[in-house]
Structure 1
Amino acid sequence: MKDFSRSLLEKVKGPFKYENIFRNILEIISKGTESKDIVLFVKDSQVRGMRPLTGTDEFLDISILEKLTFDELEEKNVYFLEFSDENTGALFFKHGIPVTLEQLPDIILSLILVLNNFIMFRETSSKITRLSALYEIARFTDMLVNPSNALFSLVKISRSIVDYDSCGLYILDDQGLQLRYFHGITPNTIYRKDSNIYKALIDEKRPLLTHHENMKSFIAIPLITSEKVIGGLLIGSLRSYKFSNDDLVALSIVSSQLSSMDNLFNTLISVKTLTTDIVDSIKQGIITVNFEKQINLYNKKALDEFPQLKKVSKNTNINNVFCKGHELIRLINDTIERGIIYENERVEINAKFYEINSFALKNESQYIVGVVVIFRDITEVVEMEDRLRFRDKIITIGELSASIAHEIKNPLAGIKMVAQLLKSELSEDETSKEEYVQVILGEVDRLDKLINELNDYAKPQSQVIESFFLSQVINSVLFLLHKDIQKHDIEVRSELSSLLPMFKGDRNQFKQVFLNLFRNSINALKEAKDRKRELDISITFDEGFKITIKDNGIGISEENMKKIFNIFFTTFKEGSGLGLPIVQKIIKNHNGNIKIDSIEGEYTVFKIELPGSG
């Protein structure tokens, strides 16, 4: 026995590989008992019996053997190995149990101790396998770029847990389990509802450890989320007993975790989609920015108003999206840096008006972590308010002009009559006095004209609506002014296509519009002494008329631009200050719009927009 124990200890030294140990133990038992062809079986709950560790494919049904007496077992050439009051293994002597078994109890005791270590090793290995599985989940989860790949990563993760020949990911549909992704040997493309695999995974919701078709070792695991089976993971090996119960447990852990992750990702995606739909359906623009002034979110309305947002990627700073000095940047900076909250703040951006609200996002410690900006386009509201103010101004001026006309016109008529009488009574040698009288008459006529223009501007004007070509009206006005144009050496360049549609409006009023605008341009050009004088006129049509009148005259200062349409404001010595207000009134009465752009000393551009239907 001492020689046997020494031999056993020598055999088990070195790398702890149980197959080698059992092979050496069997060799020693064979020598000690002078018995050949001994097979060692170990209890395996997966196959509900005992499986051989070496040398055979035979199988012992433990449920039958455990009912037999010692003598009956001896007749079957079986010797049980007991440990902790449980049959953990068996020796099978193909040619009968040897008669001389003096050393066999001691040999069996040593073998049981080895089996005990083997069981402890497998339990430890099982724990390590579970931890490895969780580690692989964490490692591969970090690598997932697209959350929808969570389930598909199962195949790759499984490879790091078990060495398989074939692995397939199946998704449940109306016809059965459909193959979606695989690695290794091509598996079946579908398991229909009448198959055993389908019944075990879908109907019974239980995993399988068995053999299947050409796979001698086979694992099938249901993929379950929210107590609902959505598919299965099927793994096979061409080698017998390749997979253990620990492998089944580890793969079940991985499948369960990743199925839950997939369900969570899908839920998050659904919530995100719903949130995005809600945010996009809001008619107000929304932009959120974090503390580092990086854009986190914007909705469809914000993108419509500011198309440059389309180029925004993750962590894009707002200063790289909007130009320096942009009103949105100013408001966001004020909120982040100074904690200022804006409510119904009106700003002008790119010739449009917006009403903006901004407020700070704060964490539990009340520190600012971001800003939400909500805005809406109020350009139409502002224009309507301008029209209302304009109308009120017109009414006021109308009342004033009526009073002025009554109070001033009669005295003017008397002054003019006396001046004319005085002029007729002057003798030939009183020519110097005649010049004074002529100045009086000229100023009376100018005042009379001013009052008439003020009356025309203030009183409601009836419109004679007709269809006409705007180009014809422009050409007729240019013809009236051709002497002034030639006198000041002005080159007129016009793009007036005869293919444009007709406009519906008051022809005479638009004559007045173009007459006033062209005179304004001529006055600006004649002051420009250092350049070639040019007047450009163009008309285009795209769902409406766009008329552009540009001169390279003296331009308008930024300060005067704000007052250019005010009544009685003029920068010309002979101007009345009513020309451009009359132009604005006529265009507004035709549901149009007029804008002006100018740089002092360089140019002035009038842009008129008129509806296509007149």
Structure 2
Amino acid sequence: MFQFYADKFPCAMMLSVDRHGKVAYCNRLFCETTGYRREEVVRLAVSKFIPDSMEELERSYFTAALRDETLTVSLIAKSGETLSLQLTYINAEMEGESYRLLIFHDKRHIGELNLLQQFSGAFIRDVNLGVILLDMNFRLMDISEMACRVLGLVREDVLNRPIHELFAGMPMEHQLVQRALLDGVIVRNHAVTWMNNQERYELLMDSNLLRDDKGNTVGAYVIFKDVTNLRSLEEQMQRSDRLAMIGQIAAGTAHEIRNPLTSIRGFLQMFKKTLREKGMSREYSYTEVMLSEIDRINELVSEFLLLSKPKDITFDHVDVVTVINEMLPIITNEALLHDVSVHFHPAGRLPRIVADRELLKQVFLNICKNGIEAMTEGGTLTITVRADTDSDSKVLIEVHDTGPGIPAFLIDKIFDPFFTTKENGTGLGLSVCQRIVHDHGGSLRVSSKGFGTTFTISIPYDKEFAK
């Protein structure tokens, strides 16, 4: 405990006095300033160094505090010199024993002390970093607000508690803070994935030991940065690059594919008519299969073309609720075929967005159809629209289904071109949707909790226009 306060006041002299008025501890700066060795100070009566009794000192300190004044006291050095110092008085307890801490500030260094204390407090309180300070007993001595948010902790509830209690029930290898830190294990830019309930964080972590002036280890620190958005942006850029490459290939080959397909389809339709007239039913059925497969190839080519950046986007001020209402009859009819009920919850008056109405319809229809088809034994599809005014001024459209959810090992792949879990799927639907949403300056995210899946479409709006 004494070391903790010594670290809190690195530019101050400190004495710890027991209930009998004897010195129990003094820090290095006290010895250097007064000329005493530590063994000469400990167990001496405090009156050896301060002319006033402890009772008088305590009374004077709290009287000054009530007046919002600073108490100045005299401290007698070994040479007999009297030093005029400012005093901070703290009542403390350790292992059932009461102590009084006398912390003396040299007026010449008081500005430096205040600056260091203010910086330390501001760093822990305000910096957008996860900061964890540990003592040698592996107890949590301080923690930043950002670390509390990521770890799901309440600062007042966890201070001075052993770290292992904060991660109780979690396997040792999955605990964010390892006891090996105190053994000198240094971590630099270590990538960690952390789950707080269903919230996923990507972190970059540093850690090291804290040492005093003599090189003795007095604790350790952990600092981590939330890079979730950076990781997400990096993945988005990589995916966009892949889509752009496929789009370029598609744009260059689509017409070359469609031209012969058109000829083949035309001749097949002639054969189909002739075969029907001659009563060749088996051969007639073969032509129907071939024509349906040709139509499927044409649909695939059309989706290829949508992977390249759309050339004819018509931007306009669009009311998202109106667009969804126009699509609801189609979505509801599709849902009835799968014994699924549809609920739409718009949140009051929403700002308009700048978008292409028809492309938005394509996105909403595709994502809703995916959700409906995921619920093989019936369920509920819920569409929610709301405005996120707290951060980036975006309209959020959430489509939630009550299906089996997406396995964790697949959820990062569903936007990849040609990846599909459907028997007859092309694996391009979500890729196309993501490209359309990105072209509108928005984002398309997915979350799945093992039961049910939520797709969130986020599209920015202009605050000035929304007024």
- Relative to structure 2, which stretch is displaced further, 473-482 or 455-464? 455-464
Once the two structures are TM-superposed, the CA of residue 467 in structure 1 deviates from its matched residue by 1.9
Structure 1 residues 436-515: aligned runs within 5 Å: 436-497=286-347, 499-515=349-365
**For residues 605 and 298 of structure 1, do their structure 2 counterparts lie closer, same or farther at Cα, with a shift above 3 Å needed?**
same
**For residues 592 and 152 of structure 1, do their structure 2 counterparts lie closer, same or farther at Cα, with a shift above 3 Å needed?**
farther
Once the two structures are TM-superposed, the CA of residue 605 in structure 1 deviates from its matched residue by 2.0
Is structure 2 residue 413 aligned with structure 1 residue 571?
no
State the number of aligned residues. 392
Q: 2:386 & 2:427 partners in 1: Cα distance?
A: 29
1:289 aligned partner, one-letter code: L
1:54 corresponds to which residue? none
**For residues 431 and 356 of structure 1, do their structure 2 counterparts lie closer, same or farther at Cα, with a shift above 3 Å needed?**
same
8 Å CA contact retained: 2:191, 2:205: yes
Once the two structures are TM-superposed, the CA of residue 363 in structure 1 deviates from its matched residue by 8.1
1:263 corresponds to which residue? 105
1:574 match: secondary structure: coil
1:311 to 138, 146, 156: 156
8 Å CA contact retained: 2:133, 2:142: yes
Is structure 2 residue 382 aligned with structure 1 residue 536?
yes
TM-score (norm 1): 0.55
Q: 2:346 & 2:21 partners in 1: Cα distance?
A: 72
1:263 aligned partner, one-letter code: H
Q: Which runs of 5+ in 2 are unaligned?
A: 1-16, 27-46, 76-81, 88-99
Q: 1:259 & 1:289 partners in 2: Cα distance?
A: 22
Once the two structures are TM-superposed, the CA of residue 436 in structure 1 deviates from its matched residue by 0.3
8 Å CA contact retained: 1:457, 1:582: yes
Q: 2:175 & 2:230 partners in 1: Cα distance?
A: 23
Q: 2:323 & 2:123 partners in 1: Cα distance?
A: 51
Is structure 2 residue 263 aligned with structure 1 residue 418?
no
Structure 1 residues 154-165: aligned runs within 5 Å: 156-157=54-55
Q: Which runs of 5+ in 1 are unaligned?
A: 1-132, 143-149, 160-166, 172-178, 183-188, 190-221, 232-257
**For residues 323 and 479 of structure 1, do their structure 2 counterparts lie closer, same or farther at Cα, with a shift above 3 Å needed?**
farther
1:516 to 366, 378, 382: 366
Structure 1 residues 191-590: aligned runs within 5 Å: 223-224=73-74, 227-228=83-84, 261-263=103-105, 270=114, 271-277=116-122, 283-299=128-144, 301-303=146-148, 305-306=150-151, 308-322=153-167, 325=170, 330-333=175-178, 335-336=180-181, 340-349=185-194, 350-361=199-210, 370-426=219-275, 427-497=277-347, 499-525=349-375, 527-528=376-377, 532-543=378-389, 544-590=394-440
Give the share of equivalent positions with the same residue, in percent: 24
**For residues 261 and 401 of structure 1, do their structure 2 counterparts lie closer, same or farther at Cα, with a shift above 3 Å needed?**
closer
2:143 aligned partner, one-letter code: Y
1:113 corresponds to which residue? none
**For residues 229 and 490 of structure 1, do their structure 2 counterparts lie closer, same or farther at Cα, with a shift above 3 Å needed?**
closer
2:153 match: secondary structure: helix
Q: 2:200 & 2:18 partners in 1: Cα distance?
A: 59
1:194 corresponds to which residue? none
8 Å CA contact retained: 1:336, 1:368: no
Aligned-residue RMSD, C-alpha: 4.3
2:457 to 608, 611, 614: 608
Once the two structures are TM-superposed, the CA of residue 304 in structure 1 deviates from its matched residue by 5.8
Whichever of the two has the greater Rg, that structure is 1
- Relative to structure 2, which stretch is displaced further, 430-439 or 381-390? 381-390
Q: Deviations over 1:498-540 (max 9, x none)?
A: 5233233221111011110111122122x22xxx522212222
**For residues 611 and 155 of structure 1, do their structure 2 counterparts lie closer, same or farther at Cα, with a shift above 3 Å needed?**
farther
8 Å CA contact retained: 1:336, 1:370: no
2:322 match: secondary structure: helix
1:559 match: secondary structure: coil
Q: 2:288 & 2:399 partners in 1: Cα distance?
A: 38
